[in-house]
């Protein structure tokens, strides 16, 4: 494994039963960089995160994180590796019966022996980084969608992880909140010296902040490169996706017989 890469995925295949989800995936996530994995819903993006985190094991191939083959680790080794990862789940997934403060403090209390005075300072520092230090006593139900996502982001970086994974971090956000989350992903990654993987189908916001993109379709990488490479891609599916065109490899019309033919048949049938 190259010392420049924190995550290396080689010849990865994964199937549910006999249904292929990922086929021949190769990805490199360099240290200190933000990398996006893009594609439409159901293409295998979130499955890739689960394989990196060890929730799933590959059918063949391997995922290495920090030089360790994830699926070969025992339970202690896997939990040790996960403590060095942060995860922002889709829609935040905050603990609804805990305050904002306690949501951030949860990992610190579970995985460290730090005194409460130190935990308090660290929690307020993380919340300050996302602009929500003044909201530490609020409950998740009192937060807007954008605020809840920022709290979830503060929780994801609570233990200063080496790898941060984001599952659709922009979903359901208004334009202002979306822009704020994008900027925070970039700034927190750089401040921590971490690596970040952003799984998303939000093209325009993601391309503003990432260093590299892998584009997935039907479980295969169909394009990769910098933001400019993706914007200028000649791959028909990628071009359609990036520019939001209604017709292309993903057709507007669900497969059916020619409309005129069907109308004529119905008229003939009903006189």
Please, are residues 104 and 126 in contact by the beta-carbon 8 Å criterion?
yes
What per-residue confidence (pLDDT) applies to 110?
86
The DSSP string of 102-136 is HHHHHHHHHH----HHHHHHHHHHHHHHTT-GGGT
> CA 139, CA 144: separation in Å to the nearest integer?
11
Q: What is the pTM of this model?
A: 0.84
The two structure tokens encoding residue 113:
């022996």
> CA 147, CA 83: separation in Å to the nearest integer?
25
What per-residue confidence (pLDDT) applies to 168?
87
- Residue 237: CB partners within 8 Å, gap ≥ 6? 217, 222, 248, 249, 250
What are the structural domains, with CATH classification, of the chain? Answer: 5-84+162-176+193-270 (3.40.50.300), 93-160 (no CATH)
Q: Which of 70, 63, 1 is nearest to 26 (CA)?
A: 63
For every one of its 271 residues, what pLDDT tens digit does the chain have, with 9 covering 90 and above? Answer: 556 899 999 999 999 888 888 999 999 999 999 999 988 777 778 899 999 999 999 999 999 999 899 999 999 999 899 889 998 887 668 888 999 999 999 988 988 889 999 999 999 999 998 888 988 999 999 988 888 988 999 999 988 999 999 988 888 888 888 888 889 899 999 999 999 999 988 888 888 899 999 988 888 898 899 988 888 888 887 878 777 766 666 655 566 777 777 777 777 776 5
Alpha helical stretches, state H, 136-174: 145-156
């Amino acid at each position: 494994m190259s010392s420049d890469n924190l995550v290396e995925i080689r010849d990865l295949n994964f199937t549910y039963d006999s249904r292929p989800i990922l086929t021949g995936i190769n990805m490199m996530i360099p240290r200190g960089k933000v990398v996006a994995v893009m594609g439409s819903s159901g293409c295998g993006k979130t499955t890739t995160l689960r394989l990196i985190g060890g929730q799933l094991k590959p059918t063949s191939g391997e995922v290495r994180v920090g030089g360790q083959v994830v699926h070969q680790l025992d339970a202690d080794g896997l939990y040790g590796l996960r403590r060095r990862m942060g995860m922002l789940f889709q829609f935040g997934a905050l603990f609804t019966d805990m305050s904002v403060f306690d949501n951030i403090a949860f990992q610190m209390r579970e995985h460290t022996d730090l005194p409460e005075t130190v935990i308090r300072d660290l929690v307020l520092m993380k919340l300050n980084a996302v602009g929500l230090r003044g909201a530490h006593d609020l409950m998740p139900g009192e937060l807007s969608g954008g605020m809840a996502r920022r709290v979830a982001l503060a929780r994801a970086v609570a233990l200063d992880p080496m790898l941060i994974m984001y599952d659709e971090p922009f979903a359901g956000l208004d334009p202002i909140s979306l822009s704020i989350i994008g900027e925070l992903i970039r700034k927190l990654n750089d401040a921590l010296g971490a690596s970040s993987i952003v799984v998303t189908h939000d093209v325009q916001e993601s391309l503003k902040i990432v260093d590299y993109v892998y584009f997935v379709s039907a479980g295969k990488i169909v394009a990769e490169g910098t933001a400019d490479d993706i914007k200028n891609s000649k791959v028909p599916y990628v071009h359609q996706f990036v520019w939001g065109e209604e017709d292309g490899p993903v057709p507007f019309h669900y497969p059916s017989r020619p409309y005129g033919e069907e109308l004529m048949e119905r008229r003939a049938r009903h006189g």
